[in-house]
Structure 1
């Protein structure tokens, strides 16, 4: 194989092994499984509840344009049907999916991220206070050493100084 083909394959392999691609693949698979759950919920629970006011299947709700629609064995014989029941079912499926995704995934994750950001900010604030405290302590030690050295400065013959001490005779 030529060097160019090897680099293309290496680049493709690096692309596939990136975390974003794997995360996206997992999200698609989980999303497909989640779609089945929501569709089952809508078809098995929501549609019958809404259908309690009419037919059990929302997809059967329709209106006709022009002449009255006549159906035989589910076939439209006359007129132009407007299948607004299937649109209503799809809208309900979308709204339920959006609500479940928001309340079970987005909202908890945003609360978690906000809490984590607050903790990180508090940790940084404590770190800053610690750095300031350490700096202040070091300044106090320096000032004490300077004051101590200044009290026994030149001409006072303190300990460690050249010359006799104050009790020399």
Structure 2
């Protein structure tokens, strides 16, 4: 009996790194990190000043107290301002990403797809369900049987 040689750890690690999805994931993380700076700059430089012109730019100081006395940070405080600020920051960031990146890219890809279909010519695919196929077979068998009776 010959003993099967198992790959060593480094060969397995190399095979893992050379998989396409690992490399794609690494590229996505790097691009995502760079893209984060763009989105943060748009939000910090454009959106936050516009929101600040209407109200305040810092909501972290807004809080409520659960107990009757909260002077000197005594009692239980609810820091609802920081939660609201983080929520607004998320919504604004998501809106910037959607309207400045996702929506234009989707429109561009739709145009590219429409051009590709126009070049290839549209071929209409008719999908038939299993039930429809069975009904057609039944109708053909009935027609054959009735044709055989009438021909006798």
With normalisation by structure 1, the TM-score equals 0.57
Describe the SS at the equivalent of 1:67: coil
Give 1:22 deviation, angstroms. Answer: 3.5
Aligned to 1:40: 44
Alpha-carbon distance between aligned partners in 1 of 2:87 and 2:115, rounded to the nearest angstrom: 40
2:32 matches 1:28: yes
Q: CA RMSD in A?
A: 3.0
With normalisation by structure 2, the TM-score equals 0.62
2:8 matches 1:4: yes
Structure ID, larger Rg: 1
Aligned to 1:68: 69
Alpha-carbon distance between aligned partners in 2 of 1:48 and 1:64, rounded to the nearest angstrom: 28
Matches within 5 A, 1:65-144: 65-71=66-72, 76=73, 78-125=74-121
Q: Deviations over 1:70-119 (max 9, x none)?
A: 13xxxx1x221111111111111011100000011100110011101100
Q: Which has the higher contact order (CA 8 A, sep 6+)?
A: 2
Alpha-carbon distance between aligned partners in 1 of 2:66 and 2:14, rounded to the nearest angstrom: 60
2:18 matches 1:14: yes
Give 1:33 deviation, angstroms. Answer: 1.7
Larger % of strand: which? Answer: 1
Aligned to 1:59: 60
* Residues matched between the structures, number: 117
Aligned to 2:3: none
Whether the 8 Å CA contact 1:15–1:21 is kept in 2: the answer is no
Structure 1 unaligned blocks of 5 or more: 129-169
